[in-house]
Structure 1
Amino acid sequence: MPKAINNDIKNILIIRLSSIGDVLKCTVVIDKLRNHFPNARISWLVETKSKDVLLGNPNIDEIIVWQRKEWSKQARSSKNYWKFARQLFQFTKEIRNRNFDLVVDIYGAPRSGIISYLSKAPVRLCYTGSRKYSHLCANIHAVPDYTTSTTATQFYADILRPLGIDRDDLRMQMPILPADRSFAETFLHDHGISPGKYIAINPSTSWQSKCWPSEYYARLADMIIEKHCLPVVILGAPGDVPLVETITRQMQQQPVDASGKTTLRQLAALAEKAGAFISGDTGPLFIAEAAGTATISIFGPTDPAWHAPKGERHITLSTNSCSCKKSFCEDKKCLTAILPEHVLTTFEELAKKIGLIEHHAIK
């Protein structure tokens, strides 16, 4: 990228839509852009479900929420597709009127590519070979280097190389606000739980195929409570309440059911204060990672080498993950082969390492 153009960058738009986990992983680019362009205004285009991941980030000046799915749902129910078209037109017009100098399209899908192109930004960055030719809407391209980009966060950070920004720190960023920490402290106090002395379990995922069986979670939670006298807090969004109720009905012990009782940011605060976090491949797992909490992740149809948390405080379990990437699976053999007893042993190994339980407490 020519230095003259680089120096002219004053107004930046990052586009990363889709799921909570994917948006969170892309936050590795924020501080790099801020350090490289200290005087620039940085905005992020995101969908409604993932906006809370970005709220409170000091390196983001504005969060632009694209209500595409809400508009689409309204159009289908009312059959008023002209209104949907007008909403899209007005939205793209507002993006163009913001006069962005640089668009970083990390999403790389047709809709993000079109938004990037219609922004009329003089510098539009995307990966080459992005999905369905969205890179054709960009005029500067990052070439994937799979010899060094061995994880999702490394891959996302590498998109900045054409700007002269090297990959170094790969920490995800999700600031937890004082009000959310206050909620977590009150919640734990009301249930007689000490911060750092409980296990958080998040059993739900966005794909049926990524969900470890409910009876397995029930058995694991029972063993943790019975053997180590550690409280278990089960987390989940409002839509996860039926699953969590199924798990609690299958248990002999009594966990704390927090499903449907928190916002995403309050969930993050509870994850931050947990001694350890157990989950499948889903957004809250990466929230816990970003918060610095030790994690045990259970992977099935997705690639743990690419997606799973890395480091001494994180352990991933998989049966040489099939990586089929199917959102639905009838038998889920790759997950059912991971038994609760195996996860308990892994938990005990991690808990000893981080000082959550003592060596002699394991019999």
Structure 2
Amino acid sequence: MTAGWSEARRVLCVRLDALGDILMTTPAIRALKESATGRRVTLLTSPSGAAIASLVPEIDDAMVYEAPWMKATPPRQDSRHEQAIIERLRESRFDAAAIFTVYSQNPLPAALLCHLAGIPRRLAHCRENPYQLLTDWVPETEPAAIVRHEVQRQLDLVGAVGCRTSNPGMSLRVDPAASQRVSRMLSRAGVAAGSRFVVVHPGASAPSRRYPARGFAAAARSLALDLDCRVVLTGSEGEVPLVEEIRGAMGAPSLSLAGRLLLPELVALIDLAPLLVSNNTGPAHIAAAVGTPVVDLYALTNPQHTPWRVRSRVLFHDVPCRYCYKSTCPAGHHECLTRVPPSAIVEAARELLESDAQAEPAAMPPMLASRPPPALLPMDSLRGGHA
């Protein structure tokens, strides 16, 4: 293991985005945890990240921080939050920090935060020379030279300092009490234990990642009438109108749990379900983490977030404008999703429900590659040079 990391007992993991990003980082967190006896891992994350962190066994503690360089953070007028989190990090006396980002994010604001907090070892991918902000710099080669799955990207990052795991699966604990509560909800609605039902999650935070409601309604109708599945729809409280629109248009019985589930209950529901049909959003990654097959309606905003190591079908229509990295379709047509017919969803569901064999996607996003990860650069020899 790289010098300084083998002795690190208190490690800070910085992952400031959403639930699915946290889950895709859990194999790397496991690698950090397993690489030294008695190591304690704390996650610095967003509110939604902290909500899922309590269900990840490898995470000992979580600190909530809404970073001003993250898109979802509400505007604020001063730096009191930054001063407070720096002080809290300093008081925690971390030995090392691993900063996890997608390749379109800049790690340097988080690196500066950790530097100001006095954390002696700081690891991240970075496109430009970070000089003193990172002690362990893995040069950013994505997307020009390679695009890896997000899970593999973060495993490669911690692997650069010698932290590895024999288990690359995502980590998520299903709460037994939540599972019992969900089972009772389903039973009261006439969904008996062991019966065939499909969870449909039609929402997503970004409009560019939302399959049309009319398409969900048509697919849900066929799931109910042609495949004889009970359809259970989920969503946040704010997505209740979307769910009700779909239920009203599908012309078949369904159950809505939108706005009714706490996060541990959503995890338990997906764990109990034979199948999830979802946009590419948090529940799709929950399904991958608990091993539930998933039909993933995959908007081509970016290529590296497909379901990880789970039976799945990834559905999309290839378009010249793929990998736009936008929250709203910049071309205005949204054809990477709108041209996926509901019948394709139903056929994918049928294959996953009726076969225990590994079901490969009809086509995977074409940019993903498998090449050797970039090497860690020795910072001491680079600080006097140029990027």
TM-score (norm 1): 0.87
Q: What is the CA distance between 1:289 and its match in structure 2?
A: 0.9
Q: Does 1:293 align with 2:292?
A: yes
Residue type at the aligned position of 1:249:
G
Q: What does the per-residue CA deviation read over 1:171-218, in whole Å, with 9 as the maximum and x for residues that have no partner?
A: 111212122212211111111113452100111111111111100000
Q: What is the CA distance between 1:301 and its match in structure 2?
A: 2.6
Q: Distance in 1 between matches of 2:127 and 2:131?
A: 6
In structure 1, which of residues 122, 125, 129 is the aligned counterpart of residue 123 of structure 2?
125
In structure 1, which of residues 170, 191, 194 is the aligned counterpart of residue 192 of structure 2?
194
Structure 1 match to 2:159: 161
Change in 2 beyond 3 A, CA 1:310/1:102: closer
Q: What is the CA distance between 1:9 and its match in structure 2?
A: 1.0
Q: What does the per-residue CA deviation read over 1:314-357, in whole Å, with 9 as the maximum and x for residues that have no partner?
A: 111111252222211232112111000121112112211139xx
Structure 1 match to 2:312: 314
Residue type at the aligned position of 2:29:
I
Residue type at the aligned position of 1:98:
S
| Contact 1:202–1:236 (Cα < 8 Å) also in 2 | yes
Q: What is the CA distance between 1:58 and its match in structure 2?
A: 2.8
In structure 2, which of residues 56, 62, 80 is the aligned counterpart of residue 86 of structure 1?
80
Structure 2 match to 1:358: none
| Contact 2:5–2:96 (Cα < 8 Å) also in 1 | no
Alignment of 1:109-120 (within 5 A): 109-120=107-118
| Contact 1:128–1:135 (Cα < 8 Å) also in 2 | no
Q: Distance in 2 between matches of 1:65 and 1:120?
A: 19
| Contact 1:114–1:134 (Cα < 8 Å) also in 2 | no
Classify the secondary structure of the residue corresponding to 2:42.
Answer: strand
In structure 2, which of residues 91, 99, 111 is the aligned counterpart of residue 97 of structure 1?
91
Residue type at the aligned position of 1:317:
L
Q: Distance in 1 between matches of 2:288 and 2:160?
A: 28
Q: Distance in 1 between matches of 2:5 and 2:324?
A: 41
Q: Distance in 2 between matches of 1:28 and 1:134?
A: 26
Q: Distance in 2 between matches of 1:280 and 1:11?
A: 37
Change in 2 beyond 3 A, CA 1:164/1:353: same
Q: Distance in 1 between matches of 2:309 and 2:2?
A: 37
| Contact 1:112–1:134 (Cα < 8 Å) also in 2 | no
Structure 1 match to 2:100: 106
Using the aligned pairs only, state the percent identity: 24
Q: What is the CA distance between 1:106 and its match in structure 2?
A: 0.8
Alignment of 1:28-67 (within 5 A): 28-67=27-66
| Contact 1:113–1:135 (Cα < 8 Å) also in 2 | no
In structure 2, which of residues 124, 133, 146 is the aligned counterpart of residue 137 of structure 1?
133
Structure 1, unmatched stretches of 5+, are 356-363
TM-score (norm 2): 0.82
| Contact 2:292–2:310 (Cα < 8 Å) also in 1 | no
Q: Distance in 1 between matches of 2:310 and 2:10?
A: 38
| Contact 2:247–2:254 (Cα < 8 Å) also in 1 | yes
| Contact 2:169–2:309 (Cα < 8 Å) also in 1 | no
Q: Distance in 1 between matches of 2:242 and 2:93?
A: 46
15-24 or 50-59: bigger deviation? 50-59
Aligned length: 344
Classify the secondary structure of the residue corresponding to 2:177.
Answer: helix
20-29 or 58-67: bigger deviation? 58-67
Q: What is the CA distance between 1:67 and its match in structure 2?
A: 4.5
Higher normalized contact order (CA 8 Å, seq sep 6+, divided by chain length): 2
Residue type at the aligned position of 1:247:
I
> What root-mean-square deviation, in Å, do the aligned CA atoms of Structure 1 and Structure 2 show?
2.5
Q: What is the CA distance between 1:87 and its match in structure 2?
A: 3.2
Q: What is the CA distance between 1:31 and its match in structure 2?
A: 1.8
| Contact 1:105–1:116 (Cα < 8 Å) also in 2 | no
Change in 2 beyond 3 A, CA 1:38/1:297: same
Q: Does 1:259 align with 2:258?
A: yes
Residue type at the aligned position of 2:133:
C
84-93 or 276-285: bigger deviation? 84-93
Q: What does the per-residue CA deviation read over 1:58-100, in whole Å, with 9 as the maximum and x for residues that have no partner?
A: 322211111457x974x75xxxx3xx43332122111112111
Change in 2 beyond 3 A, CA 1:85/1:250: same
Classify the secondary structure of the residue corresponding to 1:25.
Answer: helix
| Contact 1:10–1:41 (Cα < 8 Å) also in 2 | yes
Classify the secondary structure of the residue corresponding to 1:163.
Answer: coil
Q: What is the CA distance between 1:145 and its match in structure 2?
A: 6.6
Q: What is the CA distance between 1:167 and its match in structure 2?
A: 6.0
- Between Structure 1 and Structure 2, which shows a larger proportion of helix residues? 1
Q: Distance in 1 between matches of 2:191 and 2:42?
A: 39
Q: Distance in 1 between matches of 2:54 and 2:117?
A: 23
Structure 2, unmatched stretches of 5+, are 358-387
Q: What is the CA distance between 1:150 and its match in structure 2?
A: 2.6
Q: Distance in 2 between matches of 1:26 and 1:135?
A: 25
Classify the secondary structure of the residue corresponding to 1:320.
Answer: coil
Q: What is the CA distance between 1:2 and its match in structure 2?
A: 4.4
Residue type at the aligned position of 2:270:
A
Structure 1 match to 2:335: 333
